[in-house]
Structure 1
C-alpha cells in the first residue's frame, strides 16, 4: 500500500473511533447506547412498496427485538408516535456472545421516507436513528452498484466504507445499493463484519443494501445472519441466499453462486429452476426490466475468467449465461474478478448479434445507448475495496472472447506497479470503483466512477457511460 493511502486511511480510522459513525438525531435524554446495538442493515423483504427488513446485533443482555418506524416529516422523529414491530433473535453463528436480531416493518406507504431505530425498548437501548424509503409504484429511480469491498484488515475496511460513503455522496438520489458479493475477506470472522458494517454504519443506516453472497462469505450461515431477506421457502441459506424483488417497473434477481450440482457449477438445480419460474412470473406481472445480481459471473476479464467453474462444461459461461439470454435478462451485475469490464449484448449462442446504437448528450457528456439488444449485457464494476487483479492474458480466451466486450482494459491500478506482497497482482488499495444506474421508463443509463487515491484528492470521476433503450 502506498504511503499516501496509509496516511489517509489511518486518519479516517482514528476519526471514526473518536467521533463515532452514527447520526445526531436523538435528544440527550434518549441518546442511544451504541456499544449495545451494532451492525444494522436494511434489506428488501417482501413488497418493496410497503415493507422493509432490518437486522442488528447486540450483546446477550439485550433480549428484545424492537423496531420503531415513523414517517419522516421533520428534522427529528418523535418515536412516541411511531409504529412498533416485534422481531426475533438468535445466537450469532460466528459469535456466540452476540444476538442477531431481525424485524420487519409492514403496512408502509409507497414512495415514502421514514425514520427508524432498532433495539430493546425495555432497556431504552436503541441504535442511532436511520432513514429509509419505500419503492414507488412507478417512475424513474436510481441505484448504486459496487462489488468486492473485501478487506483483510480494519484499515482496509475503512477504505471500503469510504467508497460506499463517496458513492452515496456522488449519487445522492440513489434509493438503494446493490453489492455484487465478497463483502469481506473471511465471512466466518465476525470481526470483519464489525469492521465493514461498523465503519460504514452511518451510510448503511440511510440506505437499503441489496447483497449477493460472495465465495468469501459462503460458510456457516454467516451471510444470511447479517441480512433480513425474503428467501424462497425451503431454500438453503448456509452458503448464502437467492431472492428477488420488484422496484418500480424493474424486477431484480439476486443469485447465490456458492451452491453446486453436477449439472451446474456454483448453482443447485433447485435454484436454477426457481430462477426460470421467478423471471417468468415477473414478466407476466408486467416487469419492463429484468436485472440479475451474481457474484461469480460468466463474462469478466481477469484471473477467474479461466476458472473451471466459469468456463468448464458445467460452468457459468456455458450453462447459466445462455439461460440469461433465453430468459431475456437485460442486465447482469457481476463481481469476483476485481477489474472493470463491460460486454456487448451476448445472445444464447454466446455471440453478439448486430447492434443498433444511438447517442445522447447529458451534462456535456456523450452516452451511447444500445437499442433493443439481442442478449444480455454484463457489467463488473471492479472493486469497491483494496483488492485488484491484472487483465487475464491466457491465450485460451483468445480474441473471440475479448471481442464480446465493449470495455476490457487493463486494470487502472496497474500503473502503480505490482503489490509488494504479491507480484501477480497490482498494488492494493489504490483504485476503487462504483456505478450509478438510472432506470426511467424504457431507458437504462449507467455512469461508472473511479476513485484514485493518488490524484484528484481521491474524489470520484467518470470512466465510462452507457445505456440500454427498449422500444
Structure 2
C-alpha cells in the first residue's frame, strides 16, 4: 500500500530552505511484521522492518533528556584540554545516543516503542541563524540512530526544544492540541493510545495550566475506556535534582497536581533534572495556592525575601511562595507491588546519553521513594498489561537494574 505524504517549507537557515516531509500510515494489526520504503528523489530506498506489539501486554523504553550537543562544555584529550565545541559535542552525544538505543534493544528486545520527556537537542534555536543550524545538526544526530528506523517514538517538547519550529518540523505527532491558547514556537501538546493506555503529552514550557487541563479533558473524553492514564511532560514537578526540582518544578506543581487528581491520572513521566527519582503515590493537598508572579528585575511592590526566585532572561523573574513546596500528601508509601492505590506516581529519568548530569539535592525529599545519580546513562522499561503497570530502570553499559521494580495493579 502506498501512503501519500505532505511536504511543507520548514525553517530557512543561512538562506537555505529546509523542507519538512511527513506521512501518516494506518491499517496495522497487532503482533505483525511489516516492511516500509521511502521514495527519495523518485527512487525507492532500502526496505525497513517494523513489528507491531501486543496491545494487551506491551513494553516501551522511557529515556531522559538525550540533549544532543549538551556536552560542549566538557574537555577531553581530543579537544586538547579545551571545551569540546558544538560540532564535536553533537557528534559524541549522537554516538552515545546510538549506543544507548542499541544496548537497550539488545538487553530488552520486547520494547515496542520509545518515549522521551523532551530535550532531544541542546541548542534552543531562538530563531538565530547560527543557533538554528547547530540545532538542525543536533536533530540530525538524534534521528540518525539506526534503531529509530524500526522503533516508533513519541517525544515531548523540552525547554531546549521549545523556542523554535524545528521540533514540529521533525516530528509528526497525532492529535495535536491546536486549541492551546499560548503555545510555544515548537508546537502543541498531543495525545495517543496504545492498548488500554492513554498517553497525554503536554508542553509544560507553556505555563498556562488551563491549556493542559483542556488537553487532558479532551484526551480522556475521546478515550473513555482507557484503563491507564499517563501524562508525559518535561519539567519534573516531583524530582530530586539540584537544578530544577525545587525551583521551576514547584511553580508547575501547585497548578498541575489538582488537574491530575481531578482526572484520575495514574502516572506522570518527567525529565529535566538529569537525575533519577521515583516517588511514592502522591495527591495534591486540595488547598488553593497563589499562582507564580512574573516581574522585572527592578520592579518593586512586594518583599522578595518571601519568595524563591528563578532567573529567566532579559531581567524577568518567576517568583512563587516558598510554602508551595509543601502542596502534596503522600497517599501510599507501599513498595514493590501496590494494588488499587490512591494518588499519582511520578517518575523522573536520568540522562540517556551522558551528555549532561546534575547533582541530587543534598537532602532527599519525603515524597521520593528512591533516587540515583551514578553519573552513567540509564533508561527505564515500562510494561503495561490489562491490570498492571511495571517500571524497571537499568544502567546502559551493564544492563543491571539501578532500582527495585515497582508495579501498580488496578483491579
The TM-score bracket by the shorter chain reads 0.7 to 0.9
Which residue among 146, 149, 159 is the counterpart of 1:215? 159
Structure 1 stretches lacking a partner, 5+ long: 1-82, 358-367, 414-430, 452-457
| Aligned residues: CA RMSD | 2.0
Structure 2 stretches lacking a partner, 5+ long: 70-88, 126-134, 286-327
Deviation at 1:468, TM superposition (A): 0.8
Partner Cα separation in structure 2 for residue 90 and residue 252 of structure 1? 27
TM-score by length of 2: 0.76
Match runs of 1:155-304 below 5 Å: 155-188=92-125, 189-198=135-144, 200=145, 202-230=146-174, 231-235=176-180, 236=183, 238-261=185-208, 264=209, 269-282=210-223, 284=224, 286-302=225-241, 303-304=243-244
Partner Cα separation in structure 1 for residue 381 and residue 281 of structure 2? 20
SS of the residue corresponding to residue 169 of structure 1 reads: helix
CA contact (8 A) 2:213 2:259 kept: no
Aligned to 1:381: 349
Relative contact order, CA 8 A, sep 6+: which one is greater? 2
Aligned to 2:370: 407
Q: Residues 90 and 280 (structure 1 numbering): CA distance in 2 closer, same or farther, change over 3 Å?
A: closer
Aligned to 2:410: 470
Deviation at 1:125, TM superposition (A): 5.0
Moved over 6 A (4+): none
**C-alpha distance after superposition, 1:42-99 (max 9, x if no partner):** xxxxxxxxxxxxxxxxxxxxxxxxxxxxxxxxxxxxxxxxx11111112232643432
SS of the residue corresponding to residue 381 of structure 2 reads: strand
Residue 112 (str. 1) matches residue 32 (str. 2)? yes
TM-score by length of 1: 0.67
Aligned to 1:371: 339
Deviation at 1:340, TM superposition (A): 0.5
Partner Cα separation in structure 1 for residue 377 and residue 212 of structure 2? 32
Which residue among 36, 39, 42 is the counterpart of 1:123? 42
Equivalenced residues, count: 332
**C-alpha distance after superposition, 1:413-455 (max 9, x if no partner):** 2xxxxxxxxxxxxxxxxx101001111211111110013xxxx
Residue 84 (str. 1) matches residue 2 (str. 2)? yes
